[in-house]
Structure 1
Amino acid sequence: MSDRISNLPDSLLLHILSSKSLKTNDVVATSLLSKRWRSLWYSIPKLEFHDALSCSYEFFLPFIDATLILVYLKSVKMFSLQCDFHDLPPHKVDIWVNAVIKSKLEHLNLWFNSEFGYTVKPLPSTIFKCSTIRILKLVRVKLSKLSTVNLPSLKALHMMSVEFSDAESLEMLLSECVRLQELLLLDVDLPDYEDTKLDIGRLHHLVIAEVPENLFQIELFSNVTFLSLKEYDFSPDDHDIPTFCSLTHLEIDLLTQNGWSNIVSCLPGFPKLETFIIREDLMGLDWSMEPSPDEVPPCVSSHLKAFALKGFNFLKSEFELVGFILKHATVLRSVIIKTYDYPSPRV
């Protein structure tokens, strides 16, 4: 029986080996198939390492070392390192990251986690001087004070549980990402932060933003189409929020008391809103009884297609909000009302 797959051109085979379903250890294993495959993986454009998929920690570190020696680094466009169970030596991470950064890397994903405790990894500053990188995703890392940032190609920046040495470094990082289109910040630790809004200029190309509201002026995100605000507090001053002309998807985490009519009164600032998701705090919002707003926001009557209220506490004011939406959203297609999901107890 003829081996038709092996007769395919190298470019197509490398495309197959770069599929999302194949990790690097699976790709390397193809070298055992035949002579045709023995050195093919050396030109793989994607390297993904995950300690949970490794047979042992003792094998995991040498495997990454050997892989980075054998592959043609200039062909590597994506490097992903995910550690769920082990604490890696910081100098190893530095060596690996510096090696791939020099090869005109475009996508870097570093994820450090541990079942046995919170783990924070320091990162080399060279990451923030890579002019070719387009996607940068960092989870549970520590950043030293940044002196310079050069990320002219960066379009997507995700940072979760990232510890900065100072607020100025985050300010510098974001202000230098002039082409940024997607920004996600969750659980960012700023030791010297004093509740002053960060001055990052205007991110003119930003399309998607998921950020803590307390760090920024909301005007910075008025050009996005997707906005998720953490720990947001609707107040009377929010009635003067800018108009979000392009926004179609809005998610808000509410952690303080808010009158439901006050929330509705802010919606005229989102004239094209199609999806509106509210997530309430575990303790619930003791919304006071309020009269219905005098006017129905245009987005509710003409554009709103999906509404969700998560963390529902069976308060009368919550029923009033849902009733208002159901009554006036004439093009509504989907409504989700969900109580708080209590975490399962550990056995």
Structure 2
Amino acid sequence: YPSCFFTCETVRVLELCYPNQRMLLLKPFCLPALKTLHLTGATFNDKDQGQDKNGEEEGEFFSCFPNLENLILLNSSFRNLNISGPQLRNLEILIEESAWVYSWLYSPESKIVISTPRLASFKFEGYVYIPLVSSITYLPYLEKVYIHLPPSPRFCTHFIRDIIIKQRMPLNLIKTLLQFPNANSVTISLETLEILAMDPGSLSSHPSPFCNLKHLKLMAPRKCSNLILPFNVITYLTKGSSFCNTMVVKFPDPKESQKGGY
């Protein structure tokens, strides 16, 4: 791309898509008017150095967009991803299996750090059995949270599954949810509930994450004939809300799950 493409002062929407290969972001961006950024197949750090080619720490990339409001990261690879933005309102992170492998090769201790004080909606879906968020600023405007962690990737051996999922992921997921106390609408998949159910000890030793929860929607996978609901996990998610007497919990319809689901 020409250099002027990365320093345009009038661009408001930008979508860069490399669906079948890695896109290492080397050139410095300076897009002060950018409102919406959609990246597919992006790589945010050098495999050997843990930094980008300019020597900057991961996460400095997003400081180039001071007015960014909507960020979508699809199938991206990273080691330690720091997402910061004073105006960011909507954040979606969707990581497919190939990107999960790539990130795991970087470091099994990958993490996502979010510093977005005006964030209102957070969506995460993907094969990352590591901390989704390791540290986050206070989010007074966050209302909507969507979490879906699919079953283990096809390549995942029983040994890796035991270490990553059973030993790490339940507690990491609990710590992540605890950082969204103001969310009033939460959508979560049954697979994600099953991960939480693997560690009942941590559920009992940690407070319920949502103090303002008004609406909880549970999603079932496609073509699911038998739905097993871990009610201890549902209780954990809902018992801390000040709206528990009027809360709406939407359970999946088995008939609808057989037709589609997610």
TM-score range, shorter chain: 0.5 to 0.7
2: distance between equivalents of 1:286 and 1:325?
10
2:124 aligned with 1:229, yes or no? yes
The equivalences for 1:85-234 within 5 A come to 123-140=1-18, 146-162=26-42, 168=52, 173-188=61-76, 190=77, 195=79, 197-198=80-81, 202-211=84-93, 217-231=112-126, 233=129
Query: C-alpha separation between the residues in 2 aligned to 1:323 and 1:211?
Result: 27
For residue 232 of structure 2, what is the aligned residue in structure 1? 320
- Secondary structure of the 1:337 match is coil
More helix per residue: 1
Q: Secondary structure at the match of 1:299?
A: coil
* Root mean square deviation of aligned Cα: 4.4
Residues 75-128 of structure 1, C-alpha deviations (whole Å, 9 max, x = no match): xxxxxxxxxxxxxxxxxxxxxxxxxxxxxxxxxxxxxxxxxxxxxxxx555432
- After TM superposition, the score normalised by the length of structure 1 is 0.46
| Separation in 2, partners of 1:234, 1:247 | 22
Does residue 277 (structure 1) correspond to residue 187 (structure 2)? The answer is yes
Q: CA deviation at 1:335?
A: 1.1
| 1:250 is the counterpart of 2:139 | no
> For residues 153 and 138 of structure 1, what CA distance do their matches in structure 2 show?
17
Corresponding residue SS for 2:115:
helix
Pick one of 279, 287, 297 that aligns with 2:197.
287
Q: CA deviation at 1:186?
A: 0.6
Q: Specify every segment of 5 or more residues in structure 1 that has no aligned partner in the other structure, as ranges.
A: 1-122
Higher relative contact order (CA 8 A, sep 6+): 2
Q: 1:168 to 1:342 in 2, by over 3 A?
A: farther
Question: Contact 1:225/1:248 (CA < 8 Å) preserved in 2?
Answer: yes
Unaligned runs of 5+ in 2: 96-102, 104-109, 151-164
Quote the Cα distance in structure 2 between the aligned partners of 1:268 and 1:274.
13
Relative to structure 1, the CA distance from residue 241 to residue 148 in structure 2 (aligned partners, 3 Å threshold; closer, same or farther) is closer
Larger radius of gyration: 1
In the TM superposition, what is the alpha-carbon distance from 1:164 to its structure 2 partner? 7.5
User: Aligned pairs, how many?
Assistant: 210
Q: Please state how far the C-alpha of 1:274 moved relative to its aligned partner.
A: 1.2
Could you tell me how far apart the structure 1 residues matched to 2:219 and 2:67 are? Answer: 34
1:273 to partner: Cα distance = 0.9
- Picking from 240, 245, 257, the partner of 1:330 is 245
Distance 1:162 1:219 in 2: 18
Q: Which residue identity lines up with residue 227 of structure 1 in the other structure?
A: F
